[in-house]
Amino acid sequence: MHAIVVGGGQLGRSIADRLVREGNDVTVIDVDSEKLQEIAEHQDVRTILGRGSSPTVQAAAGIGSAELLLAVTGSDEVNVMACVMAGAASPATLKVARVRDVDYQSYVQMLERVGVRIDLFINPERVVAERIKRVLAVPGASDVSVFADGRVLLVAYRVPVGHPAAGRTLADMGREKGLPRTLVVAVQRAGRLIVPRPTERLQIGDVAYLVVPADELKDLTAFLGLSVGPARRVFIHGGGTVGLVLARDLEREGMQVKIIEPDARRCARLSEELSRSVVLQGEGADWELLEEENVAGADAYISLTADQELNIFSSLLAKRLGARSVYALVDKPGYVALATAIGVDVPVSQRLSAVASILHFVRRGRILAAADFFEEEAEAIEIQAMETSRIVNRPLREVRLPRGALVGAIVRGGEVVVPRGDSVIRAGDRVILFAIREAVQQVERAVSVSLEYF
């Protein structure tokens, strides 16, 4: 596939990197020559200096033969105009625009009436807010992904000090009475991601990724000793776009929200935009303010400022003062793993969340659902098994998946199967798999179509 990425910032670079890794031909357009030089030094892409909304620049990038154009600059106007120009030059090209202003969503029908279709508007702030909400709804979780129309969950839990799971093998835990149907598909430990064997022993501080049927989630949290309910009292540090979007959503769900924001004018706007949230002018790293506002009684403290180091520091401070779980917005490469290692319960990344959403949209049809983990080092994917697949109609113990991959769940009609060695995949089943980055493409081929079919 030939793809054009307009915008060489962090999001554009991440998308280009993923597309190249999946075997696509990528051209990146940007007005900043230094950005393009850095991209060219580290990625196998073609670069073009110029405005991505320019018909001349798009023509030089090969818009006529491009299957995909992704406009992801920091300007909504440039992104929308780039898609409009691409639509005029190449109507068949799939077009994706990054937008921060939700009003652009209402322009879809208007543009279509004049013959221009933008296939996807992606709002990174909205995407990351949705992810935070999913995690808030599951007690004790550090990540939650949804598959099979909500019937299967992939939930990450950290093993705390003193937990009975520490030191035990997965095989031992699987024999435990009262354990709901579940499967540990990955373990994050000391900066590495492990696809575990039954003999793997869980250690204190590990983050275990478990597949569980959604209707057995309550039983799983009870088995793990997580008796607390979902979050009801939430602190948000940072009243920017993400903070405002999240606060609105949490208000609608009846949660008690306090927002800490240093800018007086922004506080005034937040007070106008929100109906029930308490808006506090101050700093999230202010120990006295957090104590005075009883952060110790918070179910979650979520730091969403533009300063990623401050997000990490303030969330750790809130945790020290007694907040039940802490979240930090981090986007710099390597910061997600660092934040997790030093005690942040839920690091969240606009960049990675947006990349995952865009690529899932691009891959739709082949991939029913997808979720990235551990800074894109692994992926959970949902695929429909085909009759020509080499893994159907055989017990899983006889199926040789690529190294670093395993089947997490099988959905057949209304039934969710958490697989064992004698489980059999049938044609038409929805199969949820977990795979490290290097194995993802091999897994797609193995499950969808046999190699002999090509």
Name the pLDDT band for 356 (thresholds 50, 70, 90): confident
Q: Is residue 453's pLDDT more than 60? A: no
If asked whether residues 348 and 387 sit together in one domain, one would say: no
If asked whether residues 174 and 196 sit together in one domain, one would say: yes
Residue of 376 and 200 predicted with greater confidence: 200
If asked whether residues 347 and 358 sit together in one domain, one would say: no
If asked whether residues 336 and 287 sit together in one domain, one would say: yes
Highest mean pLDDT among 24-38, 110-124, 208-222: 24-38
Instruction: Tell me how crowded residue 21 is: count the other CB atoms within 10 A of its CB.
Output: 15
Q: Is residue 454's pLDDT more than 70? A: no
What domain range includes position 247? 233-352
* Whole-number pLDDT of residue 82: 95
* Whole-number pLDDT of residue 238: 96
Highest mean pLDDT among 76-85, 338-347, 445-454: 76-85
Q: Residue 21: inside a domain, yes or no? A: yes
Q: Residue 104: inside a domain, yes or no? A: yes
| Total of domains in the chain | 4
Q: If DSSP states are collapsed to H, E and C, what string results for 32-44?
A: CHHHHHHHHHHCC
Mean pLDDT for the chain overall: 88
Mean predicted confidence (pLDDT) in 101-110: 68
Q: Residue 133: inside a domain, yes or no? A: no
Distance CA 187, CA 202 (A): 8
If asked whether residues 362 and 342 sit together in one domain, one would say: no
If asked whether residues 255 and 192 sit together in one domain, one would say: no
pTM score: 0.86
| Separation in Å, CA 318 to CA 96, 236, 299, 311, 328 | 38, 11, 11, 11, 11
- Which residue, chain included where needed, has tokens 């915008």? 7
Q: Give long-range contacts, CB 8 A cutoff, 24+ apart: 39-44.
A: 39/8, 39/13, 43/13, 43/16, 43/17, 44/20
Q: Is residue 170's pLDDT more than 50? A: yes
If asked whether residues 15 and 100 sit together in one domain, one would say: yes
Distance CA 106, CA 221 (A): 41
Model pLDDT for residues 232-281, shown as the tens digit of each residue = 999 999 999 999 999 999 999 999 999 999 999 999 999 999 999 999 99
Q: Torsion over CA of 84, 88, 94 and 97, rounded to 10 degrees?
A: -10
Contacts of 156 (CB under 8 A, 6+ apart): 141, 142, 143, 144, 188, 207, 208, 209, 210, 373
End-of-domain residue from the set 166, 194, 223: 223
> First CA to last CA across the chain, in angstroms?
17
Q: Is residue 365's pLDDT more than 70? A: no
Residue 387 bridge partners (DSSP): none
Instruction: Yes or no: say if 450 and 388 are a contact pair by the CB < 8 Å rule.
Output: yes
* Whole-number pLDDT of residue 106: 67
Q: Residue 440: inside a domain, yes or no? A: yes
If asked whether residues 240 and 157 sit together in one domain, one would say: no
The two beta strands, 25-30 and 2-6, are: parallel
| Apex 326 CA angle, 320 and 331, nearest 5 | 120
Name the pLDDT band for 366 (thresholds 50, 70, 90): low
If asked whether residues 359 and 274 sit together in one domain, one would say: no
Q: Residue 210: inside a domain, yes or no? A: yes
Which residues of 46-196 form beta strands (DSSP E)? 46-49, 68-71, 94-98, 120-122, 141-147, 152-158, 183-189, 192-194
Q: Is residue 285's pLDDT more than 80? A: yes
Determine if residue 122 is left, alpha or beta; phi over 0 gives left, psi from -120 to 50 gives alpha, anything else beta.
beta
Q: Residue 132: inside a domain, yes or no? A: no
* Whole-number pLDDT of residue 450: 44
Model pLDDT for residues 374-426, shown as the tens digit of each residue = 767 788 888 888 888 778 898 988 888 888 888 999 999 889 999 988 999 99
End-of-domain residue from the set 173, 188, 223: 223
Q: What percent of the chain has pLDDT over 90?
A: 49
Q: Is residue 448's pLDDT more than 60? A: no
If asked whether residues 19 and 55 sit together in one domain, one would say: yes
Residue 58 is part of a domain; what is its CATH number?
Answer: 3.40.50.720
Residue 171 is part of a domain; what is its CATH number?
Answer: 3.30.70.1450
Q: Residue 196: inside a domain, yes or no? A: yes
End-of-domain residue from the set 202, 223, 244: 223
If asked whether residues 294 and 348 sit together in one domain, one would say: yes
Q: Residue 312: inside a domain, yes or no? A: yes
If asked whether residues 37 and 116 sit together in one domain, one would say: yes
Mean predicted confidence (pLDDT) in 351-364: 83
- Considering only CA atoms, which of 99, 137, 357 is closest in space to residue 241? 99
Instruction: Tell me how crowded residue 229 is: count the other CB atoms within 10 A of its CB.
Output: 10
Q: Is residue 227's pLDDT more than 70? A: no
